[in-house]
Amino acid sequence: MNRLRNWLKSRAADAPVFITSGTALSSSDVLDRIDGLRWLRQAAANKVVAVWSHDPLDALILMMALDGAARQLLLLPANTIEERALDFARRSGCTHWIGDAHELPCCVRLVPSGLAATDTPDIEDTQWVLTTSGTTSTPKLVSHNLAALASTAKADTGKGYSYCWGLLYDPARFAGLQVALQALRGGSALALAPETVPFEEQIDFFARVGVNALSATPTLWRKLLMSGRAKYLPLKVVTLGGEIADQKVLTAVQSEFPQARVRHVYASTEAGVGFSVADGLEGFPAAWLNVPPQDVEIKISEGELVLRSARTAAAYHDGRTLRDSKGWVATGDRVESDGTRVRFVGRLNGAINVGGDKVFPEAVERVLMSHPSVAAAVVRGKKSAFSGALVEALVVPAPRQGDNAVLRRDLLEICRMHLPKHAVPALIRFVAAIEANSTGKQDRSL
C-alpha cells in the first residue's frame, strides 16, 4: 500500500488535483507543499497527532503530509465543538496537533522549529482515527488503516483524468474522506466547495469547474433536484450514501442525469465501506445473502444487517472489538427481506436519521422532560419524503397545565437552546397518555 503522496507521483506534474474557488493545485504543486512540510513530518514522527482545520484543502494537505510519519492521525471535523475535540484528543492519547482551528488546549501545537528538517523514515502503517457523529453522550472513535479506508477507491486505469469529483462533505469525516481518497487514488481532480456559501452557490461553483462526479446524501440530492441547477452539472457518476436511499430519489436522479452511473453506497464509519448497489433499485438483492458481492459477506441476524470483510474496522479506538469471534460486524441497521430484495428499515437503537444527521430519541426526551409542565414525553422518527425522517414528539402535559400553544412554543425554544437544529422536533403532539409496549417500555413504534 503506497503512501497517499505516492498516488500523485504517477500523475502528470500539471494534472489538476485540488480545485477551490480561489486556486487550483496541480500534482507538482501538491507535492511541493508536502515537501515544504518536512519539518512537520519530523516533529510528528511516531506521535499521536490531531488534524483540525476549517479549510478542507489545508486538512487534506496535512493528512497527506502526516501519513507515514505520525503513528496515529486523529481527524477532527471542522465543526467539532471544543469540548468534544478535547474529549476525542484525550481518549485517543493525542499529544500534538496541527491545523487552523483556534486551539486544542490539551495538546501541543506543532510549529516549525526553525532548524533544518531531515527526512524521517516512514511509519509502516499510520492509524487513521475517525470520529462518529450523532447526538449521543459518547460519540465513538474508530481506527482504520489506510488500506482499509481506501479499499474501494479504484486506482486510475487511465481514465481518471476525465473525472472531477465535487466534495460537499468535511474530509475529516468518513464520507468526505472516501470521496477524497477516490479522487486521489483514481487520478481525478477534487473540487472543494467553498465552505460558508449557500448550497446553491456551491453547486454553481461545481458547474463552473466542471464537476462530473458527485457523492451526496439522498437529502442533498433531492435538494439539488429542487434547486433548478441540476441541468448545469454534466454528471457521469452519481453516488448516494449516508441515509437510506429510497426508490423515489433513485428514480429521480437517474432520470435527471441519464448519462450517469448511479449507485447507492452502504457504509458506516465502523463498518467501513460495505457495498454499493448499482441496479437502480432501493435496498440490495436478496441473492447477495448467499453470494457475496464485492468481497463483503452479508447476512441478516435477527433483523439486523451483519457484515464480514477485510475492510471493516478492526476495533473501536478504545480497543473494544467491533467484530465477533467469527469476524462479523453488527451494523446496527435493521433490514427486511421480501425474498427478492432486502430493504433498509432504520437503526436498531432507534436513532432517527434526519437528512444524514443522527438523533437519539432519548436525548430529545430529556430536554422535553426538563420542562416543569411536561409529565411525559416520547420521541420517535416520522417518515419524510424529503429528509428521510423528522423528529416527532408526543408530550403528555402536566395536570392543570394551561395553554398548549404556549407550552409548544416554550418546548421548541428549550429544544433549540440545547439541541442541534435537526434534533429539534418538527412536530409536537399533545396526548393524554403514552402507550407502553409489552416490555413496559415507551412504545416508539408508529
Partner 1 sequence: MNLEQIIFKEIRQIAVETGAAVSSELNRDTKVFESGLDSLGFAVLVAKLEETLGYDPFVRMAEPIYPVTLGEFVDVYAAHESQ
- Taking CB under 8 A as the criterion, the residue among 120, 294, 349, 384 binding partner 1 is 384
Segment interacting with partner 1, rule: CB under 8 A, options 4-12, 216-224, 234-242, 343-351: 216-224
Nearer to partner 1, 135 or 387 (CB): 387
What residues does 341 pair with on adjacent strands?
Answer: 285
Segment interacting with partner 1, rule: CB under 8 A, options 157-165, 172-180, 246-254, 363-371: 246-254
Burial group, residue 326, by CB count within 10 angstroms (0-12, 13-18, 19+): exposed
CA-to-CA distance for 410 and 397, rounded, in angstroms? 12
- Taking CB under 8 A as the criterion, the residue among 57, 216, 233, 249 binding partner 1 is 249
Smallest separation, CB 338 to partner 1 (Å): 19
CA-to-CA distance for 415 and 367, rounded, in angstroms? 6
109 binds partner 1 (CB under 8 A): no
- Taking CB under 8 A as the criterion, the residue among 225, 286, 289, 398 binding partner 1 is 225
430 binds partner 1 (CB under 8 A): no
How many angstroms separate the Cα of 436 from the Cα of each of 51, 333, 357, 428? 46, 23, 27, 19
* Distance between start and end Cα atoms, the chain: 49
- Taking CB under 8 A as the criterion, the residue among 32, 103, 125, 200 binding partner 1 is 200
Segment interacting with partner 1, rule: CB under 8 A, options 93-101, 232-240, 249-257, 271-279: 249-257
Segment interacting with partner 1, rule: CB under 8 A, options 84-92, 102-110, 225-233, 433-441: 225-233
Nearer to partner 1, 19 or 407 (CB): 407
What cell does 279 get? 441496479
What residues does 76 pair with on adjacent strands?
Answer: 52
Segment interacting with partner 1, rule: CB under 8 A, options 63-71, 317-325, 340-348, 419-427: 419-427
DSSP class of residue 445 equals -
- Taking CB under 8 A as the criterion, the residue among 287, 427, 431, 436 binding partner 1 is 427
b/e code 94-115 from CB counts within 10 Å (16+ = b):
bebbbbebeebeebeebeeeee
* DSSP structure string for 212-264: -EEEE-HHHHHHHHHTT-GGG---SEEEEESS---HHHHHHHHHH-TTSEEEE
Smallest separation, CB 341 to partner 1 (Å): 18
- CA proximity to 397, closest of 385, 386, 405: 405
Q: Which of residues 160-199 bind partner 1 (CB under 8 A)?
A: 199
242 binds partner 1 (CB under 8 A): no
Smallest separation, CB 382 to partner 1 (Å): 6
Residues at the contact surface with partner 1, assessed by CB under 8 A: 199-200, 219-220, 222-223, 225-228, 248-249, 251-252, 354-355, 382-387, 390, 392, 412, 416, 421-422, 426-427
